[in-house]
Amino acid sequence: MDVLGWVLVSLVVALIAFWAAVAIIVLRMARALRRSTTVRTIGWRVRMATTPGPRRTAIALRADLARTVERAHAALAYAIAVDRAEPGVRRLVLRIDAGAASVDGAIAFLLTDHDAGRVAVELPALRSQTAELSGIVDRLSSTIRSVTSETGGRISILRDDVDREAAALAAGTNAYRDLTRRDRP
pLDDT for residue 54: 85
User: Does 116 map to a domain?
Assistant: yes
Same domain? 29 vs 89: no
- Per residue in 57-96, pLDDT tens? 888 898 899 889 999 999 888 888 877 667 788 888 899 9
161 in a structural domain: no
* pTM assigned to the model: 0.62
Question: 110-141, pLDDT tens digit by residue?
Answer: 888 888 888 889 999 999 999 999 999 999 88
Alpha-carbon gap, residue 42 to 105, rounded angstroms = 20
Residues 27 and 75 in one domain: no
Same domain? For 90 and 123 the reply is yes
160 lies in some domain:
no
184 in a structural domain: no
Same domain (yes/no): 78, 31: no
Same domain as 19, residue 8: yes
Residue 162 belongs to a domain: no
Query: Which range marks the domain in which residue 24 is found?
Result: 1-35
Considering the domain boundaries, does residue 166 fall inside one? no
125 in the same domain as 57: yes
114 and 124 inside one domain: yes
